[in-house]
Amino acid sequence: MGNCNSCSTGCSDTAPNRTALVQIGGVYDYVVALAGNPNTGKSTVFNYLTGLHQHTGNWPGKTVARAEGFFTQADTRYKLIDLPGTYSLMTRSVDEEIARDFILFGRPDCTVVVCDATVLERSLHLVLQIMEITNRVVVCANLIDEANRKMIALEARALEAELGVPVVPTSARRGHGMDHLLQHIHEVATGAALPQPRRARLDDEIESAIGLLVPQLLQMIPNLPCPRWVAMRLLAGDERMEQALRSGELAEFSKDPAQELVLV
């Protein structure tokens, strides 16, 4: 229960690899999304990986729209999307909506969640939410140098076992741990490693409600990504999700993930 294997579409594990889709700005084999709380050094990670100079600064809400860059790892070409910093994917703000829509409909081959290692507990909330949508997650525990200075040690292997996804301590500013991060991104995106996220265990009542909703959603929108998650949002009374379902927006977004990538 609570595992994506139970949902008939298998979420983004079945996402088609958008091999060699020609795009303005470059050719790539896989798409990687960069998510995370505001002010965790997400843009620094982005700049390190892409060699770009996206403006970084010490205030939240800085990455207003989506930035894109490219990098190569082990002869594989990657497109990296820097999503706006958010605490949640529950869509109260435009930023959260951009992040959620991309992770859900863009079906990235890997989603890196950048966390602040000095207040890791706070970031784990978003990690869990993203793990509900996709299996292909890598946790980047950034600012590990600052955490160490504050006498905080991170047991990455233990956290990895708890979460079921790779956890990589990094200091993007100093370039520490970044090779390790690249390696994990490569393994997850290419499918060489398939993380098995541990998901929240829900009440039987909620599970049975999800079980009723999922087939109906799939009947309405056969290509719907992660219907289990959409069902959970509907049950939680997410008005925007309900509206998106009624208006056909959800169906439109679900049509062609590759096209969506171009449009967003």
Partner 1 sequence: MTLRLSELHPGQTGHVLRLDTEGSLRQRLLDLGLVPGTAIEQIMHSPIGDPICYRVRGAMIALRQQDARNIQITI
Return the number of the residue (147 or 214) whose C-beta is nearest partner 1.
Answer: 147
The count of C-alpha atoms lying within 13 angstroms of the C-alpha of 103, restricted to the half-sphere facing its C-beta, is: 34
The count of C-alpha atoms lying within 13 angstroms of the C-alpha of 104, restricted to the half-sphere facing its C-beta, is: 27
Counting contacts by CB under 8 A, is residue 125 touching partner 1? Answer: yes
Return the number of the residue (119 or 218) whose C-beta is nearest partner 1.
Answer: 119
Counting contacts by CB under 8 A, is residue 174 touching partner 1? Answer: no
Return the number of the residue (36 or 195) whose C-beta is nearest partner 1.
Answer: 36
Which span sits near partner 1 by CB under 8 A: 13-21, 87-95, 164-172, 241-249? 87-95
State the nearest-atom distance from the C-beta of 122 to partner 1, in Å. Answer: 5
Contacts of 136 (CB under 8 A, 6+ apart): 12, 13, 108, 109, 110, 111, 188, 189, 194, 195
Contacts of 33 (CB under 8 A, 6+ apart): 80, 81, 83, 102, 103, 106, 108, 110, 111, 112
Counting contacts by CB under 8 A, is residue 15 touching partner 1? Answer: no
Cα–Cα dist 140/177, whole Å: 9
Counting contacts by CB under 8 A, is residue 121 touching partner 1? Answer: yes
Return the number of the residue (119 or 213) whose C-beta is nearest partner 1.
Answer: 119
Cα–Cα dist 24/195, whole Å: 31
Counting contacts by CB under 8 A, is residue 90 touching partner 1? Answer: yes
**In the 8-state DSSP scheme, what is residue 231?**
H
Counting contacts by CB under 8 A, is residue 78 touching partner 1? Answer: no
State the nearest-atom distance from the C-beta of 86 to partner 1, in Å. Answer: 9
Pick one of 7, 15, 21, 119: the residue that binds partner 1 (CB under 8 A).
119
Return the number of the residue (122 or 255) whose C-beta is nearest partner 1.
Answer: 122
Counting contacts by CB under 8 A, is residue 88 touching partner 1? Answer: yes
State the nearest-atom distance from the C-beta of 100 to partner 1, in Å. Answer: 13
Cα–Cα dist 55/117, whole Å: 22
Cα–Cα dist 68/255, whole Å: 22
Contact residues toward partner 1 (CB under 8 A) are 87-88, 90, 92, 118-122, 125
